[in-house]
Amino acid sequence: MPSGWEFADLGSLALFVNGKAFKSSDWKGSGIPIIRIQNLNNKDAKFNYIPEGHTVEDKYIVEPGDLLFTWSGSFGAYIWNRQQAYLNQHIYKVICFSGMTNKFLFYLLNQQIQKFTEKSRGTGLIHITKRELQSTKCLIPPLKEQYRIVDKLEELLSELDHSRSTLIHAQKQLEVYYQALLKNAFDGTLTFDWRELNKPIGTSETLNEIKKDREDWIAKQLQEWEKQLGEWNEKGKHGKRPIKPRIREKVSQLNETTLSNLPDLPNGWSWITLDSFAVIVSGVTKGKKYYNQDTVQLPFLRVANVQDGFLDLNEVKSINVPPDEFDKYRLEYGDVLYTEGGDKDKVGRGAMWRNEIPNCIHQNHVFRARIISDKVNSVYCSMFSRTRIAKNYFFKNSKQTTNLASINLGVLSGMPFPLPSIEEQEAIVELLESKFSIIENLEKSVLESLAQTEVLKQSILKKAFEGKLVEQNSKDEPASELLKRINAEKREYLNNQQELRQKQPKRTKKMSKTRNIKEVLQSSDEPILAKDVWQQSEHNGDIEKFYSELKKIKASIKQVKEGTQSLLSLRS
């Protein structure tokens, strides 16, 4: 331990005052803002307000410069730098004494996050009790050294923040460059020089060849079905009758309105629809029952596996299906996969299958587009799904439900697609893959550098609170004297608060048995055991009524499991 330093628990350094459980019925569109956790960890989060004139105890008022600490859901210290506000529950206002600055405690609390996480409770939304928080022991330097530590930390961390901002800006610029490349690739700009040099023929002949390829494919499918049907008849019609392929004879057409909203293409290019050159099918339905049928277990792709331009195969689940469904839903090299549903801005994201997993099929929420003409490059097709044109098409044509958006087979079939010659498609793919490789390497370097800034930040904080960041001065008053003063000031502060409470007129309170569940939870600074809520509520003795009320207000209740017991609190 450095000279002059002392071990102390956090509870001996400051007071931790929990926020008020404001009723949502009190929230308005203007007035004094209420600080909730999302207002601290997300600068863009909207505020709720308490109207002017609403009576709130002084301890719940937060002024600019006050130190706050979130103790439920996520842990973190924050210096409040906005207007005067009211403090919501699940956040402590930290009251400091004897010159110990908010800034020093701010850095100290954030440096202790790992310790708080180890002491936390709950499985879904973690939290730390006030007792566990206050009992956390830390090394405390003399007061003058605290000031030197804060000055040095702000100098070093300011440099780190600047570096981090520069890296984040570079990351955004790479995304801008990526989108610009895609735009230029599919409007012909990227291969302008290539066309000047190679003079490709127009796509009129290519369109005829694509049409013939589709007709040949349809004829082949019907021929195969007729063959299977003949064999089935020869065997005395035993077993399942072969099903005639469901084939859309006509392809989707782009109307004048759609074409007028699409970018102009170079001479020799054409706008066509996806189903002009691809057969699109949905996949296997999860949970389907196959009574008395033999099944095989196969890996299958879900929406989570199909990302924007790539496949995430870290977790691929399996499903049992009859053998004939394997033939129906199996994936082949070059298949382009599109997501059916999700957030509206992520619907229709696509990626190409490259036989990464043997004998793999796909779920019904993932469409498979199998290209049936050698005049369309599969990689070129999958790359187009990343463009703004494709994303805007899906965004405009998706159907929105309560939580998710979705597209159907018809919408995907009619997606506009810019078609150059196959030679130019291959040139575009080569150029894009080369440039994407550079972007990916740069992104990787940026991410590694961002990770290093966080490691360096933690290293700086660790050194600061081990006494290794600034020099010690033997003339500094030792921390032991500081702790004595803090203790005396805390006692005086608490005594004054008690005297003020005693002078205030007493208000009559309802007996605990007349309180409903919300009122019981609002009266507590910390989560309460479910059985204690029941005993303190008006339903004590009638468990059925208790659960009936709990069911009605479940949306406003947060429940955390602790072993075999449940802790209840109101959502912030």
347 by DSSP, 3-state: which? coil
Rounded to whole angstroms, the maximal C-alpha distance in the chain is 105
Query: In what helix (H) or strand (E) does residue 82 lie, and over which residues does it extend?
Result: none
Q: Which amino acid is at 216?
A: D
Side chain identity, residue 251 = V
pLDDT per residue as tens digits for the range 338-388: 999 888 778 888 899 999 999 999 999 999 999 999 999 999 999 999 999
What are the pLDDT digits (tens) for 253-267? 999 988 999 999 999
Same domain for 288 and 261: yes
* 257 lies in the same domain as 403: yes
Q: What is residue 88's DSSP assignment?
A: B
Q: Which residues of 223-247 are buried (b: 16+ CB within 10 A; e: fewer)?
A: eeeeeeeeeeeeeeeeeeebeeeee
> What is the domain range of residue 322?
201-419
Of the listed ranges 13-27, 271-285, 454-468, 517-531, the one predicted with least confidence:
517-531
**Same domain, yes or no: 10 and 32:** yes
Same domain, 125 and 271: no
Query: What is the tens place of the pLDDT at every residue in 393-411?
Result: 999 998 887 668 889 999 9
Q: Is the pLDDT of residue 560 over 80?
A: no
Average pLDDT over residues 118-147: 89
Contact present, 357 and 316 (Cβ < 8 Å): yes
Residue 4 CA to residue 146 CA, distance in Å, equals: 12
Closest CA to 91 of 127, 56, 58: 127
Which tokens belong to 543?
A: 């468990």
Q: Which of 91-105, 245-259, 506-520, 539-553 is least confident?
A: 506-520
Contact 34, 88 (CB under 8 A): yes
Read off the tokens for 312. Answer: 């995430």
If one counts every other C-beta atom within 10 angstroms of the C-beta of residue 11, the result is 15
CB 37 within 8 A of CB 90: yes
- Alpha carbon 487 to its chain centroid, in Å, reads 44
**pTM recorded for the entire structure:** 0.72
List the structure tokens of 260: 């007028």
Question: Is residue 165, in this structure, part of any structural domain at all?
Answer: no
At 124 the pLDDT is 67
Please report which confidence band the pLDDT of residue 510 belongs to, taking 50, 70 and 90 as the band edges.
very low
pLDDT at 116 over 50: yes
pLDDT of residue 509: 43
Closest by CA position to 519, among listed 5, 59, 25: 25
Residue 315 pLDDT exceeds 90:
yes
The pLDDT assigned to 511 comes to 42
> Which of 60-74, 149-163, 470-484, 537-551 comes out lowest in average pLDDT?
537-551
99 burial (CB, 10 Å; 0-12 / 13-18 / 19+) is middle
Alpha-carbon distance of 7 to 13, in angstroms, equals: 11
Percent of the chain with pLDDT over 90: 60
| pLDDT tens digits, one per residue of 515-559 | 888 888 887 767 887 777 877 787 776 677 777 787 788 878 887
Q: Is the pLDDT of residue 35 over 60?
A: yes
Measure Cα distances from 14 to 67, 176, 295 in Å: 11, 47, 65
* Bridge partner list, 241: none
Residue 303: inside a domain: yes
pLDDT of 324 over the 90 cut:
no
My answer on whether 115 and 239 are in the same domain is no
pLDDT, greater one: 503 or 255: 255
pLDDT at position 335: 96
Does 230 reside within a domain?
yes
Asked if residue 443 belongs to a domain, the reply is: no
In the predicted structure, residue 42 carries a pLDDT above the cut 80: yes
Q: Residue 54 falls within a domain, yes or no?
A: yes
> H-type helices in 235-364, by residue range?
256-260, 323-329
| Position 564 confidence tier, pLDDT thresholds 50, 70, 90 | low
* pLDDT at res. 563: 58
Structure tokens at 507: 């208000």
In the sheet where 32-35 sits, what is the strand order? 48-50, 32-35, 85-87, 61-62
Q: What pLDDT digit, counting tens, does each position of 176-235 carry?
A: 999 999 999 999 999 999 999 999 888 888 999 999 999 999 999 899 889 989 988 888
Q: Is residue 263 part of a domain?
A: yes
Work out the angle at residue 277's Cα, subtended by the Cα atoms of residues 273 and 281, and round it to the nearest 5 degrees. Answer: 90
**Strand, helix or coil at 567?**
strand
Residue 318 shares a structural domain with residue 211: yes
Residues 134 and 235 in one domain: no
Q: What is the CATH number of the domain that holds 36?
A: 3.90.220.20
231, part of any domain: yes
Is residue 187 in some structural domain? Answer: no
Strand-strand pairing, 85-87 and 32-35:
parallel
User: Do 228 and 112 belong to one domain?
Assistant: no
Distance CA 487, CA 504 (A): 26
Closest CA relative to residue 392, chosen from 533, 91, 186: 186
Specify whether 358 is located in the same domain as 223.
yes
pLDDT value, residue 508 = 46
Give the chain's domain count.
Answer: 3
Q: Are both 479 and 556 inside the same structural domain?
A: no
Is the pLDDT assigned to residue 512 strictly greater than 70?
no
Query: Please, which pLDDT band fits residue 467 given cuts at 50, 70 and 90?
Result: very high
Question: What is the per-residue pLDDT for 390?
Answer: 94
Residue 293, pLDDT > 90, answer no
Q: What's the confidence (pLDDT) of residue 155?
A: 96
One domain for residues 340 and 300: yes
Task: Name, of 54-58, 416-420, 514-518, the range with top average pLDDT.
Answer: 416-420
Average pLDDT, rounded, for the chain: 89
Are residues 316 and 334 part of one domain?
Answer: yes
pLDDT confidence of 506, banded at 50, 70, 90?
Answer: low
